[in-house]
Amino acid sequence: MGIVFAPLGLVLVFTAAITPQWREGQAHLGMAGPGSLLRSGTKSHGTRSGSVEALILLRSDGLWESCLQVERSDLRQCWPVAGPYQRDPRVRLAQGLVLTSLFLCGTGIVLACIGVRCWADLPLRGVAASGGLLVVTAGLLSLTALGVYTHNLKRLGMDPSQRIHNPRYPHLNLHPAGSLYFGWLGSCLQVLGGTALLFSFKRPRCPTCPCRHELSVSPCHSCPEMTNKPDMDVYEVSC
């Protein structure tokens, strides 16, 4: 369970980190006025005035990239995050936590694979459990980053002095996007997989015969399952 869930969680968190859909917003563009921002561009494409007024602007932000797209068109542009959004301490905190989470999860998976040792008869339980501890820590860090971002989603990059609505620029209704859900799912899988690996600290108890004679190979009379099999050799098994 740990070997399967931990890499899957790492892939999902990494996918969430590199995609720019942490939050999305849309706004209806008023293109009828003479001060329109996209009037010249839309005229060059031969768009009618009726369809110009119905344009919807889609904005998406991630940890390292932002995108802008006009709905029902091929007009799309992405750029690295900049400005107040990039300088927001909560965004920078989320970036640091996600990067640390990815590093710890990758290291934990490597330790878990070395500890499990599928090519050997006996695993290194301490090494596997240590890897599980790193994976759990990585999952908790990514959950913290997602929680901070989601809680402050509508306030990230917003300057309090500029909250007065400017009619020239459209107002965006921001809401959580798909990358956040990938991150939540991946973080939960990391916690579950790391917790499963943590059980490696506890060694299983193997049922053995109560009376063991190191120099005798005869069956022990206190074990009823052995008395019925006189031709059986008794071995001492160490778990």
Q: Where are the domains of the chain?
A: 2-201, 208-239
Whether the per-residue pLDDT at 142 is higher than 90: the answer is yes
Residues 6 or more apart whose Cβ sits within 8 Å of residue 77: 67, 68, 69
Paired tokens of 12: 């999902």
Rounded distance, CA 182 to CA 178, Å?
A: 7
pLDDT band at 24 (very low <50, low <70, confident <90, very high): confident
- pLDDT tens per residue, range 149-167: 999 888 887 765 544 444 4
Residues paired with residue 60 on neighbouring β-strands, in sequence order? 24, 67
- What is the average per-residue pLDDT within 97-109? 96
Q: Please name the residue that has the structure tokens 């070997």.
A: 3
- pLDDT tens per residue, range 53-94: 557 888 888 899 988 888 777 778 888 988 888 889 999 999
Closest by Cα among 152, 106, 156 to 131: 106
**Looking at 105-109, 204-208, 216-220, which range is the least confident one?**
216-220
Do residues 63 and 91 make contact, with C-beta atoms less than 8 angstroms apart? Answer: yes
pLDDT band at 204 (very low <50, low <70, confident <90, very high): low
Neighbours of 58 (CB within 10 A): 16
First to last CA, the chain: 21
Q: CATH top-level class for 2-201? A: mainly alpha
Whether the per-residue pLDDT at 102 is higher than 90: the answer is yes
- Per the prediction, the chain carries an average pLDDT of 77
Rounded distance, CA 156 to CA 20, Å?
A: 14
Whether the per-residue pLDDT at 128 is higher than 70: the answer is yes
pTM: 0.71
Do residues 219 and 232 make contact, with C-beta atoms less than 8 angstroms apart? Answer: yes
